Structure 1
């Protein structure tokens, strides 16, 4: 692709530049410098890097992974001893005594200040595997979060690649439009010279000037579309949306495209993120079944308890002193509700596991279909481009022949218009076909989680 540069110089010599001319040149140079500062050329790898650094979506999933990591540490805390303390301060009122028939009421003086303190430490000895299963569940959830992060990054990269390729495609179209506009202007100039010699009609010039207007309108539409896509791309990767992103077409066309069969794309199927996610869902459902089985088993803990209380109210009269003691032993607890509710929970968990198995089979089927379709699309894109190359060559040859025939008065203006439109159409389609090959290849990489 040609690169056009604007050079501004100050003419010196016999003819001096006026003050106004110098100011105008300086302002123009400044405006061009500002425009250039608003355009930034990026490779696709640089776009991906900026997205990894600045994308809010990636940042959210990264935080979710960190959160899942901390949840594992919290679950491990259940393996540690548990220590608790309970203190109580209270006011004790006087006692009242009376007969069983509620007669002979008498009031007795009691110590009014009461207090108690209980310290208790426990250590799990056996919990039916519930703690271990909970830790394993948190680990699986963390792995699932990692796969979600990978899938999100793949989706975002493919979206950005779509924007990037669209800008490249539109830039190619812009170049084709500009070439055709230059060609049309040259033809109009030739027509005007022929008109002065009496060998061309004014209506022919008018019709081609109208064609020129259509081309310029198409160019304007392409430029506006580039601005829209560039704005979306810049804002997504964390740049100022007003910066115009220019694609590095040279590096894009040098992108190595592996020629692989569908079998090779699916060779390491179990490592593809969507399949790993399905496997993790099955493991989490199996972990749920183990946890329910653990609820049928008792909890056994070693406990040490120290208590202090005062006053001693069981003595008559009450003793206004503190009483402290401690004890240690084994605590065994069992949830009797599981005898009645456990079967329903187990049936539900087994149905969930079966659903996860079917979902994995469905995901595998969808993966194979998607890879097959993308491989066919890539082969078709190659075939289309090879065919289009020949079409462009023929369209150029046809245009040159019709142009010479028209200038020699051997063809009509309608023939010229048809030849010009055919040339424009084939060039635009060729520009799109080259980008479509890269798009189909990136689609395959996104499906297999390697983008």
Structure 2
């Protein structure tokens, strides 16, 4: 007995500590977005991608700067030999044994057929792509959070409705037991309502477990303390949902949808790749300057043990004639990629238009469903009240009472779901237009 007691006490303490450590935190959607911007691992990863693309742009711009190099070397020279052309009559040549070489060279590209500018523009477009990827990921994370948040809201409200109906069932059971003592109710009637009570308890337990799962997902994404319990802001459903016309949503999507902006960036990238391929067919012009200090002087025989300094400046012009026949296919491929990018942009426009139309239709359906469910709740409450009074006066059967209770429960849950679905479809509309 003492061993069991020693095992039970720590378990009870642990359970109580877990309960006490839970930290309810009322949060609105705006706060979710703010925390995600700061703490989301996914958003941070794409933000790092933006920084890397910005550095790549700086590196591309640095290609406009001159190339400057310096070299310094020391060497040991062995003695030489001199032969005739038939390798006869060998002569030993004494050589200075220590050699040195210093070179300072600079080169500045004046004209490269637009290759440098194209490289900079491609880097700028890559930076723009990274920014759009970050923004798209940010929208994805926000919409995911909205989904979890509204699921949690829906589950919490379902739990409240179930608790109310459970309390109502307990009250009915108590009334039946009182009537049974008076001989006006049967034990079988009480048993059937006890069965409904147990079903309500089971549903409530499932809803509470689902709340824990969704809450854990929110806490994980936002990197909040594990014991945090997210409590949705109850004023959310009281906020009036103001929506635009379908044409206004379509116009907004053409301006703000990130998929369209990414497709447009793809067109610009393909055009720059065409320019870069064209630059291969153009001459390259550059200025250069150099200074050398070498020793010994080996162009004289015998070798002079002296240092020789020389400098020079000049202009270099080069042309790759092989590009005339090697780059033809690459240039054609680049032009086809431009056409493909334009077609992809057109496809993206169609997809966005369809998504906006579908989301707008769903939003209107959500408004209609909400009005219908509000009326259904009113009718279900009236029906339950009438049936309850009739049952108390022994003018209705227990089955009528059970049906009225189930109808009321279904109507209450459907109304909560309809209100939350309306908010969800509104945020879905904003997600499709990428204005979250």
1:334 corresponds to? 319
TM-score, normalised via structure 2 length = 0.93
1:45 corresponds to? 30
Q: Say whether the 8 Å CA contact 2:21–2:227 is kept in structure 1.
A: no
SS at match of 1:45: helix
SS at match of 1:253: coil
SS at match of 2:348: helix
Q: Distance in 2 between matches of 1:164 and 1:74?
A: 43
Q: Distance in 1 between matches of 2:78 and 2:325?
A: 46
Q: Distance in 2 between matches of 1:234 and 1:205?
A: 43
2:245 corresponds to? 261
Tell me how many residue pairs correspond in the alignment: 423
Q: Deviations over 1:55-79 (max 9, x none)?
A: 1111111121122122221111111
Q: Say whether the 8 Å CA contact 2:93–2:302 is kept in structure 1.
A: no
SS at match of 1:111: coil
Q: Deviations over 1:380-430 (max 9, x none)?
A: 001011111111111112222222222333332222222211111111111
SS at match of 2:304: coil
The yes-or-no answer on 1:435 pairing with 2:416 is no
The yes-or-no answer on 1:317 pairing with 2:302 is yes
Of 233, 253, 278, the residue aligned with 2:263 is 278
Q: Which runs of 5+ in 2 are unaligned?
A: 1-11
The yes-or-no answer on 1:65 pairing with 2:45 is no
The yes-or-no answer on 1:233 pairing with 2:207 is no
Q: Say whether the 8 Å CA contact 1:38–1:244 is kept in structure 2.
A: yes
Q: Distance in 2 between matches of 1:177 and 1:126?
A: 77
Change (3 A) 1:34 1:416: closer
Q: Say whether the 8 Å CA contact 1:308–1:323 is kept in structure 2.
A: yes
Q: What are the equivalent positions in structure 2 for 1:241-252 lying under 5 Å apart?
A: 241-250=226-235, 252=236
1:401 corresponds to? 386
Q: Say whether the 8 Å CA contact 2:96–2:305 is kept in structure 1.
A: yes
1:296 corresponds to? 281
Q: Which runs of 5+ in 1 are unaligned?
A: 1-26
Q: Distance in 2 between matches of 1:334 and 1:90?
A: 37
TM-score, normalised via structure 1 length = 0.90
Q: What are the equivalent positions in structure 2 for 1:11-410 lying under 5 Å apart?
A: 35=20, 38-250=23-235, 252-268=236-252, 269-410=254-395
- Comparing 35-44 with 79-88, which one deviates more in the overlay? 35-44
- What's the CA shift for 1:313? 1.1
Q: Distance in 2 between matches of 1:67 and 1:114?
A: 45
Change (3 A) 1:119 1:59: same
Change (3 A) 1:255 1:309: farther
Q: Distance in 2 between matches of 1:220 and 1:450?
A: 37
- Comparing 394-403 with 42-51, which one deviates more in the overlay? 394-403
Q: Say whether the 8 Å CA contact 1:231–1:242 is kept in structure 2.
A: no
Q: Deviations over 1:207-243 (max 9, x none)?
A: 1111100001101111111111011001101201321
2:4 corresponds to? none
- What's the CA shift for 1:180? 0.1
Q: What are the equivalent positions in structure 2 for 1:407-418 lying under 5 Å apart?
A: 407-418=392-403
- What's the CA shift for 1:321? 0.9
Q: Say whether the 8 Å CA contact 1:87–1:115 is kept in structure 2.
A: yes
Change (3 A) 1:174 1:134: same
- What's the CA shift for 1:32? 9.5
Change (3 A) 1:123 1:109: same
SS at match of 2:251: coil
Q: Distance in 1 between matches of 2:319 and 2:238?
A: 68
Q: Distance in 2 between matches of 1:143 and 1:255?
A: 36
SS at match of 1:266: helix
- What's the CA shift for 1:298? 1.3
Q: Distance in 2 between matches of 1:91 and 1:264?
A: 81
Q: Deviations over 1:301-330 (max 9, x none)?
A: 111111111111121111011111000010
Q: Distance in 1 between matches of 2:209 and 2:21?
A: 18
- Comparing 437-446 with 335-344, which one deviates more in the overlay? 335-344
- What's the CA shift for 1:37? 5.3
Change (3 A) 1:32 1:395: farther
Q: Deviations over 1:127-148 (max 9, x none)?
A: 1111111111111111121111
> Aligned-residue CA RMSD in angstroms?
1.9
Q: Distance in 2 between matches of 1:363 and 1:171?
A: 38
- Comparing 270-279 with 298-307, which one deviates more in the overlay? 270-279
Q: Say whether the 8 Å CA contact 1:232–1:241 is kept in structure 2.
A: no
